[in-house]
Structures are given as structure tokens and as C-alpha cells.
A and B are shown apart, each in its own frame.
Chain A
Amino acid sequence: MNKEVRSFCTDRQTTEDLNLLGKYKTDSIFSLFNRTRTKGGEQLLEQYFQQPLTDATAIEERQWNIRSLVGKALVFPVENKEFEALEQYLTSFAPVSGAGLFTQVLKRKSKALAGMKEEQEHVTSLLIDGLKALVQIRDWFRKSLSGIDSGYLQQLTNQYRALFENKLLDAVDGDIANGKLSVMQQTRYESFLRGTHHDELNNLLRHCYELDLFLGIAALIEEKNYCFPVINHGSKALLRLKGAYHPGLNKAVGNDLQLDARQNLLFLTGANMAGKSTFMKTIGICCYLAHMGFPVPAIEMETTVYDGFYSSINLPDNISKGYSHFYAEVLRVKDVATEVAAGKKLLIIFDELFKGTNVKDAFDATSGVAKAMLDYKQSLFVLSTHIVEVGALLQQEAVGIQYKCMPSLLEGNATRYTYTLQEGISDDRHGMMIIRQEGIFDLFPSTKVRFS
């Protein structure tokens, strides 16, 4: 269980709210960051998404590594087929000693002579493609990477310099030119790959995946205006965002926000469609990415490291368990409250808490929960609601709350949304106007429409 404490706490509801994961969803945050050329790179990205970091130094190290690749115009060089051959060779054959290997090769050759060629052909093509990939990686390391001013790359090239200086690799091009290998050649190369250098080559593979992944992200940064968050090592909770926007939207407006131990709850109001939910998702996404050591869609960001992160934005009911929508919300709040009460440093986002119940209950419940959560200064909370009266009550009875709203402007008969946060509580409402704009009442000209 001790291990669990170190890992970042989040859950399915949260990742679904933010649309984080999902390889096959084109609009997920995962797909946005997935520019990998190798399968291993993609798997590594999946792993990063599933296990955000909880250690400030580890986050900074990853940031530093990625940052050092920005603007270097590097592209991972190896064709996928050849790279996969190298992977497949290294993972499917166990390490073996020199003599044992020689007999294996001999056995394969003689089988091939007897007409059973499949095995020999398979191994040879893997070997040849794998060697091609290895030579290409070596050349890339020597020619492109070593000259670049990047601590991360320096470290990598230094680590593998000795490996790449091996004379054997110089002979590869000549040996594989005609697509065939003699018994002696084959034994020599196989003993290089599977014997003496097996572990080192596996490490190289892992570094290649990482490099592939990082290069994709570096390219993304150049394309979009992402920034690396500053990690605050202080012991008190802090989250500062400047110009943060939702990465899934094309023309998103950036917003600023600062929450800290003095004001650890954001009380967000605004009319329908004014962009409350989108802003809440933006906060969540930025925070999540920051904990992966990735760049975030903002101009600036500063944050302390949290133990976990929970959101409740699109909560469904669960009839198979017999939960009404309201009860599902209650259970969700209870789960989160338990985590908060355990003293963890958390970031909590609740969109329209208790919307599944009547107003009076929702009023009591929202104000009760908000007041109780305020005392946990180690955690930060973002809360949105339609019940603006809760805001009035909290303003009288509680300190440490920041009141912001998403405004909407009436221009003639139409509403315009600025999507820019403002101070205060908004009691804008345009529900009826939206209904009228959709022309629902106009569909029935003969009926007398009353409430217009």
C-alpha cells in the first residue's frame, strides 16, 4: 500500500471528464500529444498518461529533457519496419553464450539446406533489418545528435558512444549488401546482439522510444503556444495560470487564475453556454499535463505538486446499481471528501454540484460542502453552480473564496459570450432567450404562447 501513496491519485470519472485518454478518439488529449513514430513510443506515452508524477524533481527533469529538444528540428530517423525488426529480434531471442549460438546458427542453416527454410529466412530478415536500424541510429547519434547543445542529448550520446564505436558495426553495410549472411557472419552479429551487448541494446531501445516521444512533443510546442509550468517547491498549495485555454478548441480565449492557501476555493458562476465547464476542464487538463512534466496550453503556469486530482463534470446516473443522478453525485462527493479528509494535497473540480435535486437541497448542500472544504488549505477547489444565492451566503459567512464569473453580454436580441473571466458573481440568465432564438415557439403559430 505504501507504493500507492506515491502514485498520483485520480480515477476514471476524472479522466473521462477531461477526455484525457483514448488512443482511438481523435479529440482526446492523448491523441493531441501522440506524434510518435514507434509503437514503443506510443506505449510509453500511454504509461505517462496513466501515471503522472508526484515528485517535483522528476517532473522538472522530464521538462528539462523535452525543453532541450525544442527548436532543434530533429526527426526520429528509422523506418518503422526496420525499427520493429530490431525490437522483435531483441525481445524474442534470449541471451545466449558463444558456443551455444554457433550450434543454433548451424542447425538453422542445415535445416534450410534440407528444405525447411522458413526459420532461417525469418531470422535472417529480422537480423538484416535490425542491423540496418542499428546502423542508422548510430549514424544519427554521431552526426545529428552529438553536435546539438542539449544536456539531455549529450548525456545520451555519451552513454552509447562506446557501444557505437564497436568495429563490428562498421562492417554491417558491406556484409548485408546482398541480403545474405554466412554462418560466421551470422554468428558474429547474433552474438553481438544477443550476447555481449544484449542489455545495453535494450536500454538503447528504451531511450529511443523516449526520444521519439519527446521529439513529438517538442514539435508540438513549436506549432502551438504551449509553455512549461514552473514547479513550485513550497509546502503551501499554489496554482497560477496565465492565458490558459482548452487545447481541443481552435479559437479558445486564454484566462488567468490564481489559487493558493489564502484563497483555495474558486466560486464560478455564469449563464449557460458562457464557458464555465470548458474553463474548468482547462484547469484540469493543465494541471494533469503539468504533473506529467509536459507543456501546457497556457502562456504561463506555476504550480505546486499535488497528490491527486478529482473532477465531477459529466456524472451519469447508474440505474443498474439503483442510483439516481442525485445519489450518484452524493456518492461522488463522499468519495472525494474521504480523500480530502485523509489530508492529501488535492485539486478538486466540481461542475454544478447537486444539479440533480431541488433548489433548496442543492443550496444547503452546496454551501455546506463548500464551507467544510475551505478548511483544507492544502488542497484547492473549483466549484461552479447555477445557484447564485449560495455565493451571497458564502460572501457573508466565509473567507478564503475567490468569486469569478463567465460573463455574457446582451447585444440587441442576441447574446455574446466573451469567455473571459471576471470578478464577482454573475446572475446572468438567458435560458428563455436561447429557447426563443431556436424558434421553438414559432413552430406553433396558432397557439397562444404565454410566457414571451
Chain B
Amino acid sequence: MIFNADKQTLDDLNIFGKKGKDSVYGLFNRTYTMGGATKLEQIFHYPSTGAAEIRDRSETIQSFCRSSSTFPLQAVWIEVMVAYLSDRDSRTLLRADGETMESKLNKWLGVDTQLNFTQKALKATGECLTHLNAFLEKMVDNGEATSFQKMQKEVKDILNEKEFKLAYASLVEGRLSFEQLAACDRFFRFTHYDQLQTILEYIYWLDLYISVATVAKERKLAFAEVLPEGDQQLQIQGFYHPLVPSALGNNIQMNTSQRVLFLTGANMAGKSTLMKSLGITIFLAHIGFPIPAASMQFTVNDGLYTTINLSDSIQMGHSHFYAEVLRVKKVSMELAAGKKLIIIFDELFRGTNVKDAHEATVAITSLYAELENSLMLVSTHIVEAADNLREHCRNIRYAYMPTVMKENQPVYTYVLTDGVTQDRHGMLIIQNEGILDILANGKKEKIYE
């Protein structure tokens, strides 16, 4: 099953980010190998999910957190191996028979590039497999039945197979004769190619898991607990934005009696950041990754849809408002199809006039509150909408991000508080920036009638 998070959502949450900027992917990517990085990217792009898979991955990462392993291999070995194994043309095989005087001379002079490369690659293969074997010897089989453990067992068996072990052990024991080299070349590149691919695949996963576990330990990330299937539930304690330094933690609880969180707050009070951190936490939990929170319990959902930074599209003839409407429509269709979703809408319908925005916010929020398969976080500047919603719906929680005034300067606590706030400091911010003063005292050119 694929967890649904579309491009808009990934962009909103800054999962991949723009070039050269911080992103969630960048946060976790401490991989040494290209293959490991590609695996990580795949997980983020196609987050396959499901309670079993989430537990499986989460347990694997946790076990690496406990063992504090470091990646036992050198990245350069893997690179050389991959390049070496990519050429499977049988004509490139080193041949012990049919040597001419010329090829002997070339060998002796060391100018046979093919031979040099094979020598180097086999050396790297030998080092890699020997070190991997030593690493695996130290790994205790803790009886976990994760898919990674299975893979590990398989690799262990390959590495301990007599003939195989003999072959890679011989590669690190000093200089090999040409005949030995040729035999190893055939062995690794042709007869035992599939085994090597299995090992490489394992190495990529190992790299990925160690990378994620390292980040988890370093940043003291927690792991989410998957609840058994049933009514939608979501509880997170102390979640924060992983890319904002010294971010404060907040709690949230959503279930059938609290399907919607209605969020208000002044500008700059941290509404959007709260929504983004919630989105990131939920996304990471659904791929079994460590989360920026103290703890979390949740039932598995089919998708996550956010609308935080939506832009209009004049090429398609869409105004900002229409883009929002289409977004809501898309989410509604998924919901109508029975998918369990978590929905995050930041300032829904800000692209239209107040009256429309008011009506539409109330209509959509109360509609979603009534459904059986959605949890929704919605923020708005239209505090009056709360009054209407209170009349109609019982399963909405109202919360706000508070602002405290200190000597005419707004101070933000960033702590989610129950209730609806009327706080507004827009004019104050404008005054603090001195815009009207600048305009009042500029070089005007008035017309004198």
C-alpha cells in the first residue's frame, strides 16, 4: 500500500526542499553510498506503508539505535564494486589461456588498464566482504523477525559458505597470481553475481538504517507506536519542527470525538509552523521513521493532504481561490472513495472575500467533521467561523497560538492553548516597521490647483 502524499504536500512540508536548502530528506541523509541515498529517496517518494511495514521498519531502526553501529565499510569500495559488476560482457573476462608475448609484456609493464582495474576492483571486493563478515559476526541475533533480519541472515549464509569465503579471503591476502585473479574474476562477476547483488542490496539498507538511526540518536527523536486497526486515532506529545532551531513542543489529540482542530492566532504566532511540524511528524510516522516528538500513538491512514503554500496558475487560468477549490475537491474525492486521510489546511480560502471565505470555511469544516474517515487541522483568520461551527458540530476542538504584549512588542509563546483568539497585531507590525511614517515624510509631489 502506498501512503498518499502528493507533490503539494511534499512541497508544503519541505520534504525534499529546494536545491541548497534544508529539507527533511537532507536531515536524514547521512548515507555513505549512492545506493543508500537512492533507497532513502525512494522511501520518501513512494512511502509504502501499512501497520506491519511501519512496525518492521521502526523496529529495525530502533535496534540500530540501541546497538550504535557505525557503517563498517568504505564508500569507495562499494563504488568500485558497483562499477566493476556493471560490466558483464563475457569478452572482458580475464583469460589465463592463450597469452601472447605482447600481453605478457603489457602485464609486466603494468599498462594493461583492464587488468589493473580488475585487480583493484577485486581487492575492494575482498576488503568489503571481509569487513562485512567481521561486522556481521559481531551482530547478535536478537531473535527479531524483521525483514531486515531475514535479509541479514541470508547475507550471513552467503558469506559463510565455504567456497565463497575462501574466494574473498584469498583476495586480501597479498598478491595473487594471474591465474588466481582470472578465477576470482569469473567467480564474482559471473558465477556468483546474484549473491553479490544480494549483498550490495543489503549494504544499501544497512547504510540507510545506520544513517537514520544516527540522526535519531543525535537529535533524540522518538518512535511512534502503531495502534491496532479501528477508529481513527492520533496522539502526539511534544512535536516540533525538525528544521527550526530550539522549536517548542506541542501536544495534539484527535479521535472520533475530536475530528477537527480549529486553529486561530495572530500573524507570526506560529500557526503555519505548527501545521508543518504536525504534517512532517505524521509523514515520518507513516514510513516508520523516527519522529520529532516525545511520543506518538496513531492508527494508520491512507494519506496526508496539506494546503499551506498554494500558488495560483495563470497558465491554467486558475485564480488563487479556484486553485484552493480544486484542492478541496481533490481531497473530497479521496474521502468520498473511503480513504482514511489526515488533512491540513492553512488559512483555507484566503484568496476570496471575507463573506465567501467565512461561509466556505464553515461549510467544508462541518462537512469534514461529519465524515467517518478524516482528521482535519484547519487554521483561519476568520474567528467568527468558530461561532457557527459551535452551533453545528460537537467534535471540533478549538485552539490558538497565543500572543503576549510586552511594552508594545508582541511576544509569542508558541504553545497551543485551548480556545479561540481575537488577537490581531497586523497594524502594530506595520507600525513597528514604520511604513506609514516613511510615506508621511517622503518627497511628495502634490498638484496645486
Q: With an 8 A cutoff between CB atoms, is B405 at the interface? A: no
Candidates A277, A281, A377; contact of B447 at CB < 8 Å:
A377
Find residues 290-348 in chain B having any chain A CB closer than 8 Å to their own CB.
309, 311-312, 314-315, 319, 321-322, 325-326, 328-329, 332-333, 335-336, 347
With a CB–CB cut-off of 8 A, which chain A residues contact B231? Answer: none
With a CB–CB cut-off of 8 A, which chain B residues contact A376? Answer: 439, 442, 444-445
The interface bits of chain A over 400-440 (1 if a CB of B lies within 8 angstroms of the residue's CB, else 0) are: 00000000000000000000000000010111101100111
Inter-chain contact B352/A272, CB cutoff 8 Å:
yes
With a CB–CB cut-off of 8 A, which chain B residues contact A430? Answer: 356
With a CB–CB cut-off of 8 A, which chain B residues contact A334? Answer: 433-435, 438
With a CB–CB cut-off of 8 A, which chain A residues contact B350? Answer: 355-356
With a CB–CB cut-off of 8 A, which chain B residues contact A236? Answer: 447
Inter-chain contact A326/B268, CB cutoff 8 Å:
yes
Inter-chain contact A443/B332, CB cutoff 8 Å:
yes
Which 9 residue pairs are nearest across A and B when measured between Cβ atoms? A341-B442, A361-B426, A431-B356, A343-B443, A372-B439, A386-B353, A358-B381, A443-B336, A326-B267
Inter-chain contact B367/A340, CB cutoff 8 Å:
no
Residue of A nearest to B352 (CB): A431
The interface bits of chain B over 360-382 (1 if a CB of A lies within 8 angstroms of the residue's CB, else 0) are: 10111011001100000000011
Q: With an 8 A cutoff between CB atoms, is B355 at the interface? A: yes
With a CB–CB cut-off of 8 A, which chain B residues contact A176? Answer: none
Distance in angstroms between the alpha carbons of A364 and B333 in the assembled complex: 39
CB distance from B27 to the nearest CB of A (A): 14
CB distance from A335 to the nearest CB of B (A): 10
Q: With an 8 A cutoff between CB atoms, is B237 at the interface? A: no
With a CB–CB cut-off of 8 A, which chain A residues contact B447? Answer: 236, 261-262, 377
Distance in angstroms between the alpha carbons of A44 and B20 in the assembled complex: 31
Find residues 378-393 in chain B having any chain A CB closer than 8 Å to their own CB.
381-383, 392
Q: With an 8 A cutoff between CB atoms, is A337 at the interface? A: yes
Interface residues of B (CB under 8 A from A): 14, 21-22, 267-268, 272-273, 276, 309, 311-312, 314-315, 319, 321-322, 325-326, 328-329, 332-333, 335-336, 347, 349-357, 359-360, 362-364, 366-367, 370-371, 381-383, 392, 424-427, 429-430, 433-436, 438-447
Q: With an 8 A cutoff between CB atoms, is A451 at the interface? A: yes
With a CB–CB cut-off of 8 A, which chain B residues contact A262? Answer: 447
Q: With an 8 A cutoff between CB atoms, is A97 at the interface? A: no
CB distance from A13 to the nearest CB of B (A): 13
The interface bits of chain A over 310-351 (1 if a CB of B lies within 8 angstroms of the residue's CB, else 0) are: 000010110110001111001101100110111100000000
State whether A326 and B321 are in contact (beta carbons under 8 Å apart), knowing that A319-B273, A451-B363 are contacts in the complex: no
Inter-chain contact B424/A373, CB cutoff 8 Å:
no
Candidates B273, B276, B353, B392; contact of A429 at CB < 8 Å:
B353
With a CB–CB cut-off of 8 A, which chain B residues contact A434? Answer: 321-322, 325
Residue of A nearest to B337 (CB): A443
Inter-chain contact B352/A429, CB cutoff 8 Å:
yes
Residue of B nearest to A354 (CB): B426
The interface bits of chain A over 271-314 (1 if a CB of B lies within 8 angstroms of the residue's CB, else 0) are: 11100011001000000000000000000000000000000001
Distance in angstroms between the alpha carbons of A355 and B267 in the assembled complex: 11
Inter-chain contact A431/B359, CB cutoff 8 Å:
yes
With a CB–CB cut-off of 8 A, which chain B residues contact A431? Answer: 321, 349, 352-353, 355-357, 359-360
Q: With an 8 A cutoff between CB atoms, is A135 at the interface? A: no
Inter-chain contact B444/A386, CB cutoff 8 Å:
no
With a CB–CB cut-off of 8 A, which chain B residues contact A451? Answer: 359, 362-363, 366
CB distance from B425 to the nearest CB of A (A): 8
Q: With an 8 A cutoff between CB atoms, is A131 at the interface? A: no
Q: With an 8 A cutoff between CB atoms, is A191 at the interface? A: no
CB distance from A273 to the nearest CB of B (A): 5
Inter-chain contact A343/B309, CB cutoff 8 Å:
no
Distance in angstroms between the alpha carbons of A314 and B370 in the assembled complex: 34
Additional A-B contacts beyond A337-B442, A341-B442, A368-B427 (16; CB < 8 A): A262-B447, A281-B314, A330-B433, A355-B350, A357-B267, A365-B430, A375-B439, A376-B439, A377-B445, A431-B360, A438-B329, A441-B363, A443-B333, A450-B363, A451-B363, A451-B366
